[in-house]
Amino acid sequence: MSEATTLAVPEATFLDSNEMVLNMGPQHPSTHGVLRVILKLDGETVRGTECVIGYLHRGVEKIAENRTYVQFAPYVDRMDYVAAVSNALGYCHAVETTAGVEIPERAQVVRVILAELNRIASHLLWLGTHALDIGAMTPVFYCFREREEVLKIFEKYCGARLTTHAFRIGGLQYETYGGFEKDCLAFCDWFLPKVDEYEELLTTNRIWVGRTKGIGILDADECKEYGVTGPVLRAAGVEWDLRRAQPYCGYENYEFDIPTCQNGDTYDRYLVRMAEMRQSARIIRQGVEKLAPGPIKGKVSKVLKPAVGETYTSIEAPKGELGYFVVSDGSVQPYRIRVRPPSFVNLQALDRMCRGSLVADVVAIIGTIDIVLGEVDR
């Protein structure tokens, strides 16, 4: 295992008298929730970090074992609460795979449209807060303005804005409202020029480039070593997206590009997410075209009892690979549900990304990983 051991983390020592330990969080505005990071500093330089997590731990996996499959569905929205639709998609897809349920075409298309809208909303929230952390005050207002339009579509569709519980196992609960297609298309038309506006503000901005270029580098090998997925992996040059690699929900029928960059730094991750928002809008447009009348719910018995078995099913959530390992013992309650959250796994790479950088960059790096503590702690 010589190849693997060379990648082991260099040790932070505590003997050096220059080293100082600084506590950051859990109540720090730039940690996006309750994340506590203990920094080991040599002057301004970070020599090592340790994350203390669990402040938002609610025992979601234990709750799952004590609810039926249907009852547990709203809980998954509370994990990555800025991308609740993606969580619901991942969960429903996993249970449907375990139970062998087929989803009608129309339900799949609506799912894709809503999931991509949610990807845009999630990336917008990331962009706004990330820019705010670094000191660019303006983008957050624009981002929230655009995100509001997505939330309005969610609200009109299912009555909720954030924790939507939009999907049901087997398809959808609600038919789309009159004018849903028009709203989606209007949003895409209106939104794409806004992405250009953000880019005008940031992409060539000297301060932005100075604060993000070459910061928090994680190359492709390190990403794989740490199990990091999503935009962070793609920014390191790996063209890998579960929507393409292992399509689900009919993603194989959509044309879209997988944006990648080469350097794997904070700036590249920004570029990748900007491009992904455009691709999401592209997918939404295709989805609206595909939307044909039809049933929205497959044949699912009211008392859902998947056959004895276990499956691992994952989707490409805005933050990376979101997996559900479902073990069924043939009863109405899952025997075990394991959530493989992208935020939790990606956050682990924080230490590697921070070492050698400055304290001020830690804030930028936490922002660029795009974590949601509800999902880290579950």
Partner 1 sequence: MADENKPAGEVPALNGTPGTQSPEATTSGTGGSTPAAESAPKPAAASPEVSASKPAAESAEKPAAKPAAKPPPKKKAPAVMEVSPWEGPLVDALKERFGAQVTEFLSYRDQDFLVAELSAAIPIIEYLKLEQDFDYLVDITAVDYPKREKRFEVVWILYSFDKNLRVRIKAHAADGESPATAVNAHLTADWLEREVFDMFGIAFEGHPNMKRILLPDEWQGHPLRKEYSIIQQDQDWVRENLQIESA
Q: Which is nearer to partner 1, 53 or 110 (CB)?
A: 53
**Which stretches of the chain bind partner 1, using CB under 8 A?**
1, 3-5, 7-9, 14, 21, 38, 40, 50, 53-54, 57, 59, 61-63, 65-66, 68, 97-98, 100, 224-228, 238, 240, 245-246, 303, 305, 307-312, 314, 321, 323, 325, 327, 329-333, 335-336, 338, 340, 344-345, 348, 377-378
Q: Which residues pair with 39 in a beta bridge?
A: 22, 49
Q: Least distance to partner 1 from the beta carbon of 82, Å?
A: 20
**Tokens found for residue 53:** 């997590």
Q: What share of the chain is helix, strand, coil (3-state, %, to 5)?
A: 50, 15, 35
Q: Which is nearer to partner 1, 308 or 360 (CB)?
A: 308
| Residue 220 · residue 237 · CB < 8 Å | yes
CA 265 to chain centroid:
18
Distance between CA atoms of residues 256 and 270, nearest Å: 19
Structure tokens at 242: 């579960």
Distance CA 165, CA 172 (A): 10
Kindly tell me which of 295 and 309 has the beta carbon lying closer to partner 1: 309
Question: Smaller CB distance to partner 1: residue 74 or 295?
Answer: 74
Pick from 375, 153, 181: nearest CA to 284: 181
Write out the DSSP string of 9-52: PPPPPS--TTEEEEEE-SB-GGGSSB-EEEEEEETTEEEEEEEE
Q: What SS3 class is residue 337?
A: strand
In the bound state with partner 1, the residue whose beta carbon lies nearer, of 132 and 347, is 347
Minimal distance in Å, beta carbon 171 to partner 1?
Answer: 19
Q: Is 142 helix (H, G, I), strand (E, B) or coil?
A: helix
Q: Measured from the CB of residue 273, what is the shortest distance to partner 1 in angstroms?
A: 21
Q: Which is nearer to partner 1, 159 or 330 (CB)?
A: 330
Question: CB of 186: closest distance to partner 1 in angstroms?
Answer: 37
Rounded to the nearest 5°, which phi and psi values hold at 328?
-110, 135
341 close to 53: Cβ distance less than 8 angstroms: no
Q: Which is nearer to partner 1, 199 or 222 (CB)?
A: 222
Shortest Å distance, C-beta 325 to partner 1: 6
